[in-house]
Structure 1
């Protein structure tokens, strides 16, 4: 299988979860998924930034995790009900708002891992990333949203599809197929994927196992685990053979990976 250019030849990968907000930056009011958080990840030499996409009331795709402003700004309004200029004002003392278009333009050497959080954002995400598909991975908990974004990228003339990781329903089917030892089914579910981005556990179910990693690698698919913040867990998962760590402490992860005698990408 040909490796998607989003995935550089070397592993392990460190993916800055919603950018990088160090404790010092947090004390100064910087929040996740802000312009400052992406800039800090870039300044730290982190090649991959994981982020989330919502659409504002006036149709702009912004990097924002929650579907409302309660947690970030103590404001009950949904992102879908707020216009861009209002969101820019709210985020002005929180590290600054960043739209997807701004992120792709301002950080041309960053590879973006984009989780489509809202159905209304999917088509616009696909169109925006189409010229940048070589450095973008599109994912979503919803396979429907993920496929909608990928179709939009193709319709917008993307030279190649963005890289992709499956939604939760595909992951559930994959785990079931592995449990039932349906090898052909496992291979079919992994076909067309570039990465399998999953939590280590989902409730009582252990998702990341030796067997899952072997099956993914046999299909040319990487395994990235989220969200891993303790260094001891980072070490353990890398020893298990995972290819990437999605983490709030990308600075810690990079230092740890470099300390192992390898270079983080």
Structure 2
């Protein structure tokens, strides 16, 4: 299977704590996803991999945040790109604490981080930051161009993090396993990729199929499925041969698995 150092020593199946862990009790206290408190809770529950996302503040700091704006999480309609680090720290102070990418990597040295680059402006600085932590970081993005840009920045800084395919690579793999099922074509599509992180299906299109899992494994690529919160669904997918589950309930998944 995957040979990148990111995967060395990890338990199987992989349980990825989606945006950290926010329990019902934490939610009642106002704690939100991707916060320092959420990462701390995931680590305390035994999650080895924290799945998170990054954006760039107006003053050029890479922060862990999923949405383009603050509205859903904090009620503030502004975009992350229009807010300074100091402003964001004040806003997040009562919501579990702001996590910058650099602080998370430094503050949780035992954790691996699956970082989704959400904004083009964050690609270069995020890549440069993770370079020194390459054995603990898996970089991804829906945009393969953005993902490759972040990887290139990491390599310029002397690092080589693991990476998960973006949407265009996944589409090409689906074509390679359905329309023209040639192993050599799948290998070419997945060259340089360490993991596929995908939903089980997108609309009517089923992405996680036995053929896709076989093709990925033949290329030494892991398959992680998001976002699965029902234990029976986790067991069914693991029974199909997937390697990892991205979940909001990492504590329950770790206990059950």
What corresponds to 1:263 in structure 2?
none
Q: How does 1:157-168 map to 2 (within 5 A)?
A: 157-158=158-159, 161-168=160-167
Q: Cα distance, 1:2 vs. partner? A: 6.6
What corresponds to 1:107 in structure 2?
108
Q: Cα distance, 1:234 vs. partner? A: 0.6
What corresponds to 1:249 in structure 2?
249
Match of 1:77, SS state, is: coil
**Post-superposition CA distance 1:152-177 (Å, at most 9, x none):** 0111112xx10001111111111012
**Post-superposition CA distance 1:221-252 (Å, at most 9, x none):** 00000000011101111111110000000001
Q: Could you list the runs of 5+ residues in structure 2 that have no partner in the other structure? A: none
- Which segments of structure 1 move beyond 2 Å, counting only runs of 4 or more? none
Greater CA drift, 246-255 or 3-12: 3-12
**How far apart are the structure 2 equivalents of 1:26 and 1:234?**
24
**How far apart are the structure 2 equivalents of 1:240 and 1:21?**
28
Match of 2:27, SS state, is: helix
**Post-superposition CA distance 1:147-199 (Å, at most 9, x none):** 011000111112xx100011111111110121112412211111211111100
Aligned: 1:227 with 2:227: yes
Q: Could you list the runs of 5+ residues in structure 1 that have no partner in the other structure? A: 258-265
Q: Is the 8 A contact 2:231 2:256 kept in 1?
A: yes
Q: Is the 8 A contact 2:169 2:190 kept in 1?
A: no
**How far apart are the structure 2 equivalents of 1:182 and 1:124?**
38
Match of 1:75, SS state, is: coil
What corresponds to 1:260 in structure 2?
none
Q: What's the TM-score once normalised by structure 1's chain length?
A: 0.94
**How far apart are the structure 2 equivalents of 1:172 and 1:144?**
14
**How far apart are the structure 1 equivalents of 2:25 and 2:38?**
12
What corresponds to 1:91 in structure 2?
92
Match of 2:125, SS state, is: helix
What corresponds to 1:37 in structure 2?
38
**How far apart are the structure 2 equivalents of 1:44 and 1:250?**
7
Aligned: 1:130 with 2:152: no
Q: CA RMSD in A?
A: 1.0
**Post-superposition CA distance 1:190-219 (Å, at most 9, x none):** 121111110001110110011111111111
Match of 2:113, SS state, is: strand
Q: Cα distance, 1:49 vs. partner? A: 0.2
